[in-house]
Structure 1
Amino acid sequence: MLKGKKIIVGVTGSIAAYKAAIFVRLLVKEGAEVKVLMTEAAKSFISPLTLSTLSKNPVLSDFTQGQEGEWNNHVDLGLWADAFIIAPASANTIAKMANGLCDNLLLATYLSARCPVLFAPAMDLDMYQHPAVQTNIQRLQQFGHTLIEARHGELASGLVGQGRMAEPEELTESLSDFFGRNAPLKGKKVLITAGPTYEAIDPVRFIGNYSSGKMGFALAQEAAQMGAHVTLVAGPTHLVIEHPLVNRINVRSGKEMYEACEEHYATSHINIFAAAVADYAPAQVANHKIKKENDAFEIKLSKTIDIAKTLGSKKREEQFNVGFALETNNEIEHAKGKIKSKNFDLIVLNSLQDTGAGFGHDTNKITLIDKANNIQHFELKSKTEVAKDIIKNIVEKF
């Protein structure tokens, strides 16, 4: 559940800060992208260089860095993260969080964060049991933050009791469980098509299109991040995806793509037809390379199977089908027509009139239209962010 997640680890002034090194290492090992924020007090217990090396990112503690005073934007940091975990969370930092104080980069980022916040207290037993600390912890929980309880054991003071920060393995498990509990597609099966299809003319030539598959792959990644078991049927593309919940099936032609989809369609809950399947294929495929002999050359084409329409005719009430429409004119009307003809619940409209949208780009600009003709427009975004918008919309409607 942590693979691909963007995690901010906040480290505060506690002897338990040494555990942050192991914790960060475990997160990176699980495939998470980690950025570490430290308070000045935390630097007395563990070196920023250690955490920078393990996280593979610069450790941030000041609002500016470098000789030219480059700004560490706490707002961007707060928007970047999928989760913010403060471990260890000292009594001082917990008090500041509970009361909205903001005297360092960690706290400024905390107040700016829109992502879930988890905190793992670490302090001596009498401090931990003090009514002021307990009140602050309860207040943070009332804010919706997740408490990772301090453990019972031997403390740095030599006393034995509750106040010991959870071990790095426990923190990692807690974070993974958190994402698992909050994975809206957990247990669901999602079928996604992506990329182009190549329709053979002869052994060395084909009819194809400019689709890169980037949008379909981004959707597969995001659906898996939401806990879904994804079957990704991909046409020819150089793209790579390694999420453990994604089963990739490589195909070449539209016929192969249909056969792979048909095999998985009946058991799939959500079906997203993002591939750019060729509408026509050569009626006859030459067994040998066709020689260049004449000035003119004709190829007879036959209509290929419409995968989305054919499978849409078999759609059960509990299934949710999503289509894509790439249009150059009368975009809205053409997209609405496809919703009806192909039995879509939702269609994603791209217009080639929009700069930065369509084939080959890392960005996309979409309009979502559902079967009730509700229309939602989005600004130009990266395809990763577009995938989040689409999957979020699917989750809400499904």
Structure 2
Amino acid sequence: MKITRKLLISLALIAISSAPQAKGQDHQSQSIEEVVVTADIDNSLSAHSASEAIHNLQRVPGGVDLVRAEDYLVEFTQSIGDALKFTPGVYADTSAQRDNRISIRGSAANATYERRGITVLRDGVPISRASGSTEYQEIDPLSIDYIEIYKGSNGLRYGAASLGGAINVVTPTGATSKAGSNIRLESGSFDTYRTSINTKGRNDAFDYYGAVTKLNSSGFREHSEVDSIYSFGNVGYKFSDNLETRFFLTALQDNFELAGSLTHDQALSNPDMSPESNIERDMDRNLDVFRLSNRTVFALDSLTIEAGAWLATRYLDHAITPYAGIIEQSGMEFGISTDITGDFQLDITDISWVIGITHAESNNESELFAYSEGPFSPTPTAKKGDLSSKDDRNATNTVIYGQLDFSLSESLNLIAGAQYISSVREN
């Protein structure tokens, strides 16, 4: 828009300077004030603005969508499920505070835990675990710029092997956002308070973004308190016009109580109650995550090479049901990814292409404890009893993929894709 305005102003000035003189006026030199129109051009390789993302998605002849943060931040958005609930083709349900069940085109619609069916990325780097599950609690909706949704087989752009496709969560950066600091304060019923602070800036080849969000709420129902703190940041450095790298850091502690399920009559007569067993055993879900990742982009005239790497640790303390007991899990995961994109023209068609590989490995140690007073005797808190089982779980995933997009006409595209998947699970 601004570039167009510059062109229009230039034409107007030319018309004024070349307009014929009215009769009777003396020829004299006139000084016209110089007008300079500038525009902020997104020239970051590792971070794209929402407008550029929309332009790229419009080239995809399939089911895609984009949700801007400004579209949902007018409401109290507690989780990524709240951010996506009005997106066509996406089913998002909040099962417990910030824990979501998200389904695209029916994927994992009946999942009650271990959210699967969708490959989730943050800034192009996977956050879905090597086992295939995703912790949606890892995403704070207040530190999002926009969300890209690639439905079904359109997720092959990121090598997604999931039925539902892929979701790419894109965060603000100092390269794509106006420099400065902001604070957001929210309060509401049920002792709900949320504070979010972020800062961002840019200096020559260096840019940064950082955000911290603190959420507390007693919840609508008994025993549904939330106490979480989420921090995220990224730092980018541009070596040249063709090479840029960006590091991302996530650290969070998300604790919430489980209100439990009710009978039909209880839900109608007293919907804010919680079963006594949930209160007496202090059933809850507490998650700690630390994640460090990197994305490096090398752009040439005819192709772009992107490389990603990540390392994450995770600890879960989950007093789940009186029958299952108390779960403790600790795990570590690392992975690498590379994809190359490009396009070229032939006499009969334009062709866009992508090839890539993703490799991830994880180790998860899981212990299950009985309640200290037995599975049916109430206790004041969720105290661990005897060790019931112990599992050492290892997962390895390797995905190699490629895709060609043939533009046959202005209204018809042909897409051909191929994928090789190697998945190994050891228990």
TM-score (norm 1): 0.23
TM-score (norm 2): 0.22
Higher-helix-fraction structure:
1
Higher-strand-fraction structure:
2
